[in-house]
């Protein structure tokens, strides 16, 4: 598994047709009367803030208030209701109405006709991640740090009344005067700016949770990329980083993404909310990001050096940004009408996450941000990582049941095998179309056909794609996405003149880079022996030495830890024809060997070009990688 887990919101359209919820709306006496939400960030008590939710008047006797159990893209049941305390339903006179807690996330309120509002306190997730089992993934979590930072992933603060998810929301936030909000949530239009009150609106509940807000002292950079205004807002608790430190790299990266996407319609505004966690106190440590329609929340450690931080931001943010293609533009009904407390999962994680992750790598080679070698290395790493999961598990079945066993532990394979499925499909499309068509072409066609407000039928998508493409795509889906046959990647690499093969790579005599080929046995007089169960280099192999052999004599010198050091030092000056003599102890026996040291090499697995391939094949490879 990668260090940076990428979790993603399966994005739902921002404007849902009102007839989808007509039955529920009739129960509200005031059509379209907004649910007025207030959050007080000034009066923080015990790391908690108070929230009030004031709906229109109900005409039913009982209503159920819910906080999400899960949110799109996290693929886990997080029960945000567990962080709610002191829940109260109040009538118009301020008296408490009877309510019953149904489960971690739901409260049933009787006498709803009298209900004025509900009120409760919210605890945050970041500083208790160590204490709870199955902690909320930090980019979906919440932070309440009085006077300095509030990470308002609003699904942790704001709930909804059953049957009333499609009504508009008005969100009023009382905030410290020196903190500023970064969010893509719309400001209420007819309200004057106020130093301590922010007022936002959302057309429906989904829009509330799709637009997180981060409050922090100003540390923000904005820039234009081909018609998109990107804002990077950063919270660095010990003031290690400024948003300006990352600006240039983000401008280059997102510019390349826009170029790669070409004419794909996308958002006009995109916000990156970067929370840097402090490892000296209990704080967030689920590093990675959660994407939304028009923003992403990223959590990374503040201790990263600038080089690693930049690379992490490139890899994480590029992935999140590509979600504007899928599921933002291309998604099924399961996602369009997401049920926050009883979600139905889609079969198509191979696309929502796999295509996204594949594009996040492909654009880097196509736009010249990385070399061909780097790209192959990344794909090979994905092949290797994918083998840590169940390679014979149907990807479609896993996706549909991702919250259940035994599928849930295979989730992170969507970033490994999910990306590789797309690589193979991309190669098939290029091959069959003489280099013309690609996965990007397919996604553009699908987004023209469907789009933000028009979901597809989950079970019809495979057939839909096949009808737009080739029978080979059908076979591939049936065998490797719906079916359970592991992919033979070399079959697809061969189409573009590549193969995975073992190749020789230079190494050292006693060290492979920083890693020694030997170890010390402290239990046994600190003798130095050749490490076991590793692949030895040609130097040891040619001398017929083996893992576990104890060095006794080298070039006439008795060997211990002290006397080996100068020999290692000398070895840096050895030339291949230098002759070395060694005596090693193997299973109590002394074995002497002698021979030229040679040029030390090791075997490594690589994706490399096949020799003698046709011009056609090379053209196809170039179409794939350099389009
Ligand atoms: Zn994702």
Give the pLDDT means over successive 10-residue stretches in the chain (627 positions).
Answer: 30 27 37 86 96 93 95 88 97 95 96 95 93 88 96 98 93 96 93 89 94 97 92 97 96 94 83 95 92 93 95 92 87 84 92 96 95 96 96 97 93 96 98 97 94 89 97 98 98 96 92 93 91 94 96 95 93 95 95 96 92 94 93
Give residue 7's pLDDT. Answer: 31
* Distance from Cα 7 to the centre of ligand 1, integer Å: 5
* Distance from Cα 310 to the centre of ligand 1, integer Å: 19
Name the 3-class secondary structure at 269: strand
* Distance from Cα 303 to the centre of ligand 1, integer Å: 25
597 in Cβ contact with 572 (< 8 Å): no
* Distance from Cα 245 to the centre of ligand 1, integer Å: 25
Give residue 9's pLDDT. Answer: 25
* Distance from Cα 292 to the centre of ligand 1, integer Å: 10
- Give, as one character, the DSSP assignment of residue 258: H
Q: How do beta strands 149-152 and 180-182 pair?
A: unpaired
Give residue 32's pLDDT. Answer: 63
* Distance from Cα 107 to the centre of ligand 1, integer Å: 32
Give residue 198's pLDDT. Answer: 96
489 in Cβ contact with 500 (< 8 Å): yes
* Distance from Cα 511 to the centre of ligand 1, integer Å: 38
Give residue 28's pLDDT. Answer: 45
* Distance from Cα 455 to the centre of ligand 1, integer Å: 19
* Distance from Cα 269 to the centre of ligand 1, integer Å: 19
136 in Cβ contact with 154 (< 8 Å): no
Contacts of 125-132 spanning 24+ positions with Cβ under 8 A:
125/83, 125/156, 126/151, 126/277, 126/282, 126/283, 126/284, 127/47, 127/281, 127/282, 127/283, 128/282, 129/282, 129/283, 129/284, 129/285, 129/286, 130/282
In order, the DSSP letters of 390-448 are -TTS-HHHHHHTTTSTTTGGGGGGGGTHHHHHHHHHHHHHHHHTTT---HHHHHHHHHH
* Distance from Cα 145 to the centre of ligand 1, integer Å: 28
* Distance from Cα 166 to the centre of ligand 1, integer Å: 25
Q: For residue 215, what are the β-bridge partners?
A: 150, 181
* Distance from Cα 472 to the centre of ligand 1, integer Å: 27
pTM of the full structure: 0.83
Give residue 14's pLDDT. Answer: 26
Q: Which residues surround ligand 1, an ion (CB under 5 A)?
A: 6, 8, 353, 356
* Distance from Cα 357 to the centre of ligand 1, integer Å: 7
């Amino acid at each position: 598994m990668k260090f940076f887990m990428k979790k993603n919101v399966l994005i739902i359209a921002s404007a849902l047709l009102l007839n989808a919820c007509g039955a529920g709306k009739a129960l509200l006496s005031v059509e379209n009367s907004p649910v007025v939400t207030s959050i007080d960030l000034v009066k923080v008590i015990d790391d908690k803030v108070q929230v009030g939710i004031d709906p229109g008047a109900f005409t039913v006797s009982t209503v159920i208030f819910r906080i999400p159990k899960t949110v799109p893209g996290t693929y886990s049941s997080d029960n945000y209701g567990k962080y709610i305390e002191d829940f109260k339903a109040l009538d118009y006179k301020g008296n408490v109405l009877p309510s019953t807690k149904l489960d971690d996330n739901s409260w049933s309120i009787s006498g709803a006709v009298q209900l004025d509002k509900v009120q409760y306190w919210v605890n945050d997730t970041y500083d208790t991640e160590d204490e709870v089992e199955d902690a909320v993934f930090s980019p979906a979590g919440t932070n309440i740090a009085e006077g300095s930072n509030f990470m308002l992933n609003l699904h942790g603060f704001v709930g909804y009344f059953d049957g009333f998810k499609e009504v508009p929301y008005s969100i009023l936030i009382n905030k410290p005067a020196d903190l500023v909000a970064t969010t893509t949530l719309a400001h209420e239009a007819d309200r004057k700016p106020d130093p301590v009150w922010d007022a936002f609106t959302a057309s429906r509940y989904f829009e509330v949770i799709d637009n997180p807000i981060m409050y922090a002292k100003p540390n923000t950079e904005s820039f234009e990329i081909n018609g998109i205004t990107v804002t990077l807002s950063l919270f660095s608790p010990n003031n290690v980083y400024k948003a300006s430190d990352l600006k240039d790299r983000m401008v280059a990266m997102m510019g390349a993404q826009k170029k790669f996407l070409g004419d794909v319609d996308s958002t006009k505004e995109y916000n990156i909310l970067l929370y840097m966690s402090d490892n000296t106190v209990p704080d967030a440590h689920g590093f990675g990001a959660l994407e939304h329609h028009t923003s992403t929340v990223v959590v990374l450690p503040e201790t990263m050096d600038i080089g690693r931080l930049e690379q992490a931001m490139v890899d994480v943010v590029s992935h999140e940004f590509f979600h504007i293609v899928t599921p933002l533009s291309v998604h099924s009904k399961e996602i369009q009408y997401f049920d926050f407390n009883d979600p139905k999962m889609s079969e198509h994680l191979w696309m929502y996450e796999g295509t996204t992750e594949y594009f996040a790598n492909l654009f880097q080679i196509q736009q010249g941000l990385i070399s061909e070698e780097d790209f192959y290395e990344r794909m090979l790493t994905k092949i290797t990582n994918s083998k840590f999961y169940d390679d014979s598990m149907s990807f479609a079945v896993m996706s549909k049941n991702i919250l259940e066993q035994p599928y849930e532990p295979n989730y992170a394979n969507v970033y490994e095998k999910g990306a590789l499925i797309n690589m193979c499909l991309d190669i098939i499309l290029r091959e069959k179309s003489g280099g013309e068509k690609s996965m990007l072409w397919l996604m553009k066609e699908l987004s023209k056909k469907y789009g933000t407000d028009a979901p597809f039928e989950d079970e019809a998508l495979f057939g839909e794609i096949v009808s737009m493409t080739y029978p080979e795509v059908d076979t591939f889906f049936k065998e490797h996405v719906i079916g359970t046959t592991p992919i033979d990647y070399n079959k697809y690499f061969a189409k573009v003149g590549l193969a995975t093969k073992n190749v020789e790579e230079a190494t050292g005599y006693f060290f492979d880079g920083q890693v020694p080929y030997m170890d010390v046995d402290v239990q046994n007089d600190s003798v130095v022996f050749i490490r076991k169960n590793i692949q030895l280099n040609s130097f040891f192999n040619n001398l017929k030495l083996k893992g576990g052999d104890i060095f006794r004599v080298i070039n006439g010198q008795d060997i211990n830890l002290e006397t080996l050091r100068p020999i290692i030092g000398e070895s840096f000056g050895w030339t291949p024809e230098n002759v070395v003599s060694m005596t090693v102890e193997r299973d109590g026996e002394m074995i002497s060997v002698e021979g030229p040291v040679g040029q030390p090499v090791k075997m490594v697995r690589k994706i490399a070009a096949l020799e003698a391939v046709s011009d056609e094949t090379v053209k196809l490879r170039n179409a794939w990688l350099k389009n």
